[in-house]
Amino acid sequence: MEFDYYTLYKDWSTLDLVRVARTPNDYAPDAVVVAKNILKERRVSLEEMDAAEWELAQAEMAAAIGKLRITDYIERFAEEFRPERGQASETGPWWLTVLLVFYGIYYTVNMYAFIRLLFLLHRCIDCVPDVRVMVWSVFFEVYVTVCFYFMLKQKWLGWAMLFLQTIVQGLGQLSRLFYAYEHHVSWSLLISNYVLPLLLYGGLGFLLCRPAVLKFFLARPGLKKATD
């Protein structure tokens, strides 16, 4: 049984009929034919149809401009926490497993040191903690936690956060290296405490920019959908 589009559309305004007639991809073929026939019955000229279409375009543009853009960012952020279709069966390449193991160890040691610091501050009666240091420590622990979560979920944001962390900590290590050199720190301490960690950050940053890593993370469906 076919749907009676004529009965549905016969009382529609010219503007609504033009919307159906001029956007055939959004409606059923029979609906488009009926809308065009009703416009012919009403003897709507091409100029009137063009004017109605222009009015529709202006209304859609005004609606797009007036839309709360903050909702788009909220939706994109929430999308990162939703599991991707078929992702549960993916194990990822071998290098991702190695990277997750090392970052997991780094995360565990960092979290242990932070909890131990909080415990010592709680036990110490005369200690006055530096507020700036505490705020930075809390922010950093939250940051690495979120980064580790996205890495486990194999999300592109995990790669981006890890890459940003590598750059920031590498620059900080480079600054400490120059400071130690200016204060004539012995070469043995300079190499072990400053040069080797700096090389480690540089190597990690280089590996994160390899084509295989970029292809794996940045070509994910979630990112493609968010940037369409």
State how far the Cα of 95 lies from the Cα of 208, in Å rounded to an integer. 11
Residue among 155, 141, 169, 142 at smallest CA distance from 100: 155
Name the average pLDDT for the chain: 79
CB 158 within 8 A of CB 147: yes
Identify the pLDDT of residue 89. 41
The confidence band for 69, taking pLDDT boundaries of 50, 70 and 90, is: low
The confidence band for 219, taking pLDDT boundaries of 50, 70 and 90, is: low
Q: What is the DSSP string of 101-151?
A: HHHHHHHHHHHHHHHHHHHHHHH-SS----HHHHHHHHHHHHHHHHHHHHH
Least confident of 120-129, 179-188, 192-201: 120-129
**Residue 108 pLDDT greater than 60, yes or no:** yes
Identify the pLDDT of residue 62. 67
Least confident of 52-66, 90-104, 131-145, 177-191: 52-66
Least confident of 49-53, 70-74, 164-168: 70-74
Residue among 150, 23, 151 at smallest CA distance from 80: 150
pLDDT in tens, 154-178: 888 888 899 999 999 999 989 988 8
The confidence band for 144, taking pLDDT boundaries of 50, 70 and 90, is: very high
**Residue 109 pLDDT greater than 70, yes or no:** yes
Identify the pLDDT of residue 228. 40
Q: For the chain, what are the domain ranges?
A: 5-67, 76-227
The pTM for the full model equals: 0.53
Identify the pLDDT of residue 71. 61
HSE value, Cβ hemisphere, 13 Å, CA-based, for 5: 16
